[in-house]
Chains A and B, each alone.
Chain A
Amino acid sequence: MLCFNLAVSKADFRLNIKAELPAQGVTGLVGVSGAGKTTLLRGLAGLEEGCHGFVRFNDQHWFDSEKRLNLPLYKRSIGFVFQRPSLLPHLNVQGNLDYAWNRVPRNRRIVSISEAIEWLDIHDLLYRRPHQLSGGEAQRVAIARSLCANSDLLLMDEPLAAVDISGRNEILRLLEDIKKKLTLPILYVSHALDEVARLSDQLLIMKQGRLLAQGPVEEMLTRFDLPLAHAADAEAVLDVFVDSYDESNKISKLSGSAGSLYVTQSLSPGSRQRLRIGAKDVSIALSHADDSSILNILPATIIEISAENGGQNLLKLQVGDAVILARLSQQSVNRLSLTVGMSVFAQIKAVSLV
């Protein structure tokens, strides 16, 4: 478990945050630019000067300003993936991986170089120099290198910020797979909602240097008192289990806390998947439309309605044990006389599989 209480004062900014993170899984750290995400990450790594408070990881004390204790980064067993690709320019890709690997004590070597190479799909890049790599390739190598370091904690500071769209999607896909193979906790900073929705188990939301909220990703994405639900690309996530795949109709049946859902994609039965449902992809009907082409129509209860700017309304719907969002026009809300507590049908026009 990572436990910290950090305060840093800068010229125009003050960080003051206290939190505890579980010892495994991905924690997304979100907030607008200038919220202090990078400063916090650097503070945890011991790279930020003038910190007050403490940082503890499991039973190790990394930092304690009262006891004048400040373990340098190289003794903290932290892997760090920086925003800009940061490969050592005098070494090739293999050299960069070896650099990390050679500094890991034998008894702590869990992830091997060959596994890291495979997981990040960088086999063809091994003999390239850093300046011969694209932004996405360089960042894949940087992530592989941080895995080779076999640290106890992985800090990732907007690793996809300097990567183009196609590289970004590929890395996200790889990260989702890697996440399932690793046991170490990851703190992942991003201001892109879809990134954290895809990767995180829980979220830490920061605002102006302070902790706004912390909790499971499903809850943080859909709470109306938090900014994420009001974002233009607001979405809910559901963790589901693949029941079966119907070969003739090319359709997979998924089950989870929201009940049964169908996707037109071949998935292996038994596997776990994360579904993302965008607020703009959900519409409401008062009766179950049997003549609709929409695949997923689920009974739902309206639990919250919030008027937004531009004649839009955001609805929070209880679907089984899950919560999803729907964004409707004011006119639709009026026409259907939607109120809190009503039983309706949520028509899910599209789901994104992670």
Chain B
Amino acid sequence: MLESEDLIALLLTLRLALVSTIVLMLISLPLAWWLSQSQSRFKTAMETLVALPLVLPPTVLGFYLLLMLGANGPLASMGLTGLAFSFSGLVIGSVIYSLPFVVQPLQNAFISMGRWPIEVAASLGAGPLDRFFSVVLPMARRGLLTAATLGFAHTLGEFGVVLMIGGNIPGETRVVSVAIYEHVEALEYARAHMLSLLLVLTSFVILYAVYRLNRSQALLKIGAGRP
């Protein structure tokens, strides 16, 4: 069974994924909405920036984050010290690392919705903020769920960024992926196995739930023949 320090790592991972997902959604909703509506010339640059974590090695990301968050970094000179090798630092790293996995499904959901629901709501007297909460979010709820789940699942499996900026402090920055690495290094294969299997199962269940939900709703939509 799980030993207590593995359980701590597991709970920490879940907490990290949860907090990161919340922060991710708060940042990504307005960002994805802006990307889906804007015709600004900065839009493409922004999209590229958001997509960068998809192609960069996590170590590159982690390295720059370490410079940013470290004791001599720009954030420290602004008074934000102690972010590196802390839980807060991990959250920042995870958010940036998982950003494309949350922004892109949201942006797609907003675009596929089309302009018409917004025009309809406007003709019924709803202002921009009102429309966003009363029409855009409820209509994009599948995209919201997909985005949140992908963000959560992706944060669960993060390794490189964590190792660079978080290190390996039990209860603070030692997440499951790092713990597995440690176990393998120490040739504790049984413990590595247990954690790995848990991660595989958790990820499978989460992704399965998302696909299942998307599928049933997509069928419903096609069957109804709506625009």
Contacts and interface: CB of A to CB of B under 8 A. Distances in A.
Contacts of A77: 125
Contacts of B134: 99
Contacts of A84: 116, 227
Contact of A149 (B119, B124, B138, B141): B124
Given A100-B125, A103-B126, A89 B226 contact: yes
Which among A72, A79, A82, A89 has the highest number of chain B CB atoms within 10 Å?
A89
A149 B121 CA distance: 11
Interface in A73-122: 73-74, 77-80, 82, 84, 86, 88-90, 99-100, 103-104
Interface residues of B, number: 24
A74 B139 contact: no
B226 A80 contact: no
A100 B119 CA distance: 13
A73 B225 contact: no
Interface residues of A, number: 26
B123 A149 contact: yes
A86 B135 CA distance: 13
B201 interface: no
Contacts of B220: 131
Contacts of B209: none
Contacts of A168: none
B127 to A, nearest CB: 5
B116 to A, nearest CB: 6
Contacts of B57: none
B122 A72 contact: yes
B120 interface: yes
A100 B226 contact: no
Contacts of A131: 220-221, 223-226
A99 B122 contact: no
A321 B64 CA distance: 87
A100 B120 CA distance: 10
13 contacts: A45-B123, A74-B124, A74-B126, A80-B120, A80-B123, A82-B119, A88-B139, A89-B117, A89-B139, A99-B124, A104-B125, A131-B225, A151-B123
Interface of A: 45, 47, 72-74, 77-80, 82, 84, 86, 88-90, 99-100, 103-104, 130-132, 145-146, 149, 151
